[in-house]
């Protein structure tokens, strides 16, 4: 998205803040990175942010999250999100399956 790139160029201290936060947050520390990514995915599902769901699911796959681990966190999202949470968790699971199958997932610009 050209407008976002330009905005980021004009306001690097503001728009780049999320990137810096993610670099620090989603690293191995007291809690392994993959569990923090799964927690973020759970939140993204509950708040219904599709770009974040795609991004965190991709990060989960890249981080070696197993299907069993993913499903347990999807269950948390379903529990906290109710019926809509179930629908959005299913979307995340489909992205996961697509990525495992080698599909390229087009991610929208969101908080990059």
pLDDT in tens, the chain (112 residues): 688 788 888 988 887 777 788 889 999 999 999 999 999 999 999 999 999 999 999 999 999 999 999 999 999 999 999 999 999 999 999 999 999 999 998 877 565 5
Distance (Å, whole) CA 77 – CA 105: 22
Query: Which part of the chain has CATH 1.20.1290.10?
Result: 33-103
- Look at residue 1 in the predicted model and tell me its pLDDT: 64
Q: What is the pTM of this model?
A: 0.85
CA-wise closest residue to 45 among 4, 105, 99, 96? 96
Q: How many CB atoms lie within 10 A of CB 35?
A: 15
Distance (Å, whole) CA 90 – CA 86: 6
Selected from 3.40.190.10, 3.40.630.10, 1.20.1290.10, 3.30.70.20, the CATH number assigned to the domain covering 33-103 reads 1.20.1290.10
Q: Which helix (H) or strand (E) holds 110?
A: none
């Amino acid at each position: 998205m050209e407008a976002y790139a330009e905005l980021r160029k004009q306001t690097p201290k503001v728009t780049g803040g999320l990137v810096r936060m993610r670099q620090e947050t989603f690293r191995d520390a007291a809690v392994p990175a993959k569990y923090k990514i799964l927690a973020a995915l759970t939140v993204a599902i509950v708040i219904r942010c599709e770009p974040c769901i795609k991004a965190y699911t991709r990060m989960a796959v890249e981080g070696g999250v197993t299907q069993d681990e993913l499903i347990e966190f999807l269950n948390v999202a379903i529990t906290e999100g109710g019926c809509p949470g179930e629908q959005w968790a299913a979307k995340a699971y489909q992205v996961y399956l697509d990525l495992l199958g080698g599909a390229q997932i087009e991610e929208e610009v969101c908080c990059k």
